[in-house]
Amino acid sequence: MKRVFIPNRGEIALRIVRACRELDLECVVGASDVDLDGVAARSADRAVCLGPGPARDSYLRDDVVVQAALGTGCDAIHPGYGFLSESTRLAARAREHGLVFVGPSTEAIALSGDKLAARAAAQRAGVPVLPGAEVESPGVARPAARRIGYPVLVKAAGGGGGRGIKRAGDGDELEAVLGLARSEAGAAFADDRMYVERLIEAARHVEVQIAGDDHGEVVQLGERDCSVQRRYQKVIEESPAPSLPGPTRDALRDAAVTFTRAIGYGNLGTVEFVVDSSTGDFFFLEVNCRIQVEHPVTEAVTGRDLVVLQLELARGRPLGFAQEDVTLAGHAIECRLNAEDPARGFIPTPGTLSLFAVPERPRLRVDTHCYAGAIVPPYYDSLLAKLIAHGDDRDQAIEILLDALEDVDVEGVPTNRSLLIGALAHPDFRAGAVRTDWLERAMR
Amino acid sequence: MALSDEDVREILRIIDESPLAELRIQTEGFSLQVRKGRSADGPPLPPLPPAGPLAAGPLPAPPLTPAGPRTTPAEAASPPPAEAAPDDAQTIASPMLGTFYRAQAPGSPPFVEVGTRVAPDTIVCIIEVMKMMNSVPAGASGTVIEVCASNGQLVEYGERLFRVRAGGAG
């Protein structure tokens, strides 16, 4: 591997450029025309324009991405997160043309994209899954949901990452949301298969970072708690998960390794679980085969560069360390600063950043592609920056973040800064674990 | 490619009006070298490499250009073409990223050359994206005055492929 193509934008494209530098790899960023002036494109050895702003005409064109990678002499593609990061089409096409795709096997990507297949694989591996069933028709849905017990969540087999999920409290509601959910899923994921799962009311979202190599070695790098969410989108993440009983933590990590081994997964990945905080039971949710937005909290506590590791694994290198070499130090918390308008239901707010200042502090890491004068285009996600604090303990990490957020100065577009401060300073959050429905309740 | 006296005069006029000291155009089966004034100092220009057949197949890894959006080596090495052109010149930009081909097939004559008159629907080149051959229409009327991209090379979305001078006599 000599030259890596990065068909992505924003902070993650910049993050991958930095990992390439670390490994003395050249890199080419493939950007849409509105991102050609961006920090990621400018920091790469070369940038090429994939297409116009709308992602479907640029970042989502797997044919254009592979053509661009080949045409610029790259021998690998790192897709980042979002866009084509979980596309079997891109992975297969890249590999057909002799390019290294930085990710697991195409089969593993397919499994992670098919939530029903992943659920079945978890069951076969002896990893607990939520009571649930595929629902081919409303006629099947009602008896299945009755068996499972209301309330249930209606999910799309092709969804994931919080997309395509709807709640149903009873049979009538189930029928109402099922039709809508099915047509939405068909349009969004080209897969209209739906399933229902029991809704855990006292749910926490806990995920385990895993890494596997081509030689069958698998390790876990601790877990992250991502329970602070708005509309199923993560807002604050931390590692390790707070107030989790020791046996539950160990069992979760073991289950993630068991599942990873069972599906023969090579590369970096995340196994997501829902933890019932009223009982301590946990259940498999899905596996993600990309680098995640919240990976820096794991990097902070493990002291390992996960994007470098991802590139090394993709080029066939062995893990180079064993489970006993993985130690977690201190506590890390990340919060996502988004261009959203709190006054208007947190709708994304594109615009020009007339001012953008984030503090530099010891034990604070800021991953961002923004600067004063930068444009936040209307086509993509609204993430402006990730602030990651690494403290000796959780309280210290909270203090570092609160202190830093006070000095965040963004003008030109509204941001969710006040929400982040409110959440981090809230007695519930300070006290320890919160449920996935906490933030929206606490905001009212 | 046949050039009329008028073509040559037109080329000379463009050079005359431009700040360029020298112009070299090379396409398949045609090369033109024009120099303004006297080149008293400096060695004679090196000969142009022979025009190769239209490339097909895998491309060698090109050297990476310094970071900078849409700065092709050609642009970096010469003054912005806008200065060298009459105001009525229009750009045909690439509608997509892909491999630029000037002809229908290797060995076929190019769709257009400098001096070719085009209408909006005249096919000027092909952009290949993963074996899909996309014909690119000129989208403008006039005379091709510059071929800006090299055959067989990757072109980006929005990259300048040709320049066309509006209106008649080419």
Q: What is the DSSP letter of B20?
A: -
Evaluate if residue B15 carries a pLDDT over 70: no
CB of A92 closer than 8 Å to CB of A79: no
Q: Is the four-CA dihedral A38, A39, A40, A45 of positive or negative sign? A: positive
CB contact under 8 A, B68 and A66: no
Q: Does A69 touch chain B (CB under 8 A)?
A: no
Which residues of chain B does CATH 2.40.50.100 include? 79-166
Look at A132-146, A427-441, B17-31, B99-113 and tell me which has the smallest mean pLDDT: B17-31
pTM: 0.84
Task: Give chain A positions within 8 Å (CB) of B128.
Answer: 67
CB contact under 8 A, A3 and B68: no
Say yes or no: A34 contacts chain B, CB-CB below 8 A.
no
- Give the closest of A44, A63, A71 to B67, CB-based: A44
State the alpha helices, DSSP H only, in A23-137.
39-43, 62-71, 88-96, 106-113, 115-124
Q: Which residue has better confidence, B10 or A323? A: A323
Nearest CA in chain A to B64: A46
Closest partner residue to A72 among B58, B154, B159, by Cβ?
Answer: B154
Q: Quote the tokens at residue B20.
A: 């360029």
Give whole-number Cα distances, A175 to A135, A146, A154, A344, in Å.
11, 13, 10, 30
Is there a contact between B157 and A63 if contact means CB atoms under 8 Å apart?
no
A107 interfaces chain B, CB cutoff of 8 Å:
no
The residues near B66 (Cβ < 8 Å, ≥ 6 apart) are A46, B76
- List CB contacts of A15: < 8 A, sequence separation 6 or more: A80, A307, A367
Q: What is the DSSP letter of A256?
A: H
Q: Which CATH class is domain B79-166?
A: mainly beta
User: Which residues in chain A have Cβ-Cβ distances shorter than 8 Å to B154?
Assistant: 48, 67-68, 71-72
Tell whether B57 is within 8 A of chain A (Cβ): no
Is the CB of B157 less than 8 angstroms away from the CB of A49?
yes
- Comparison of pLDDT for B46 and A264, the residue scoring more: A264
User: For position B24, what pLDDT does the model report?
Assistant: 65
Q: Would you call B132 an interface residue with chain A, using a CB distance cutoff of 8 Å?
A: yes
At B43, is the pLDDT very low, low, confident or very high (cuts 50, 70, 90)?
Answer: very low
* A151: number of Cβ within 10 Å: 16
Is A146 an annotated catalytic residue? no
Catalytic one of A93, A193, A230, A290: A290
Q: Residue B69 is nearest to which of A41, A66, A67, comparing CB atoms?
A: A41
A73 and B58 in contact by Cβ < 8 A?
no
Q: Is B76 an 8 Å CB contact of chain A?
A: no
pLDDT tens digits for range A376-424: 999 999 999 999 999 999 999 999 999 999 999 999 999 999 999 999 9
User: CB distance A67–B154 less than 8 Å?
Assistant: yes
Better-predicted residue by pLDDT, B19 or A276: A276
Nearest alpha carbon to residue B96 among A51, A199, A307, A427: A51
* Record: contact B59-A73, CB cut-off 8 A: yes
Regions in chain A scoring below 50 on pLDDT:
none
- Closest by CA position to A14, among listed A86, A78, A101: A78
Residues 6+ apart with CB under 8 A from B88: B142, B165, B166, B167
ipTM rounded to 2 decimals: 0.82
